[in-house]
Amino acid sequence: MAKIEDLNEATARIEAALYSAGRPLRIEDIVRASGTESRTKTLELLNSII
């Protein structure tokens, strides 16, 4: 999978994954869904959603 550079797209992908999963997701699953390949960046995006 290509690394996602657009933070708006990465945030939208996180929101879609959380909405559609129907279960709690592990951080590894959320990192994969975001496409950022970065745990730190994914956590920052999650904090911006909350």
User: In the chain, where are the structural domains located?
Assistant: 7-49
> What is this structure's pTM?
0.88
Integer CA distances (angstroms), 22 to 39, 41, 48, in order:
22, 24, 21
CB 11 within 8 A of CB 49: yes
Question: What would the pLDDT profile of 10-49 be if each residue is shown by its tens digit?
Answer: 999 999 999 999 999 999 999 999 999 999 999 999 999 9
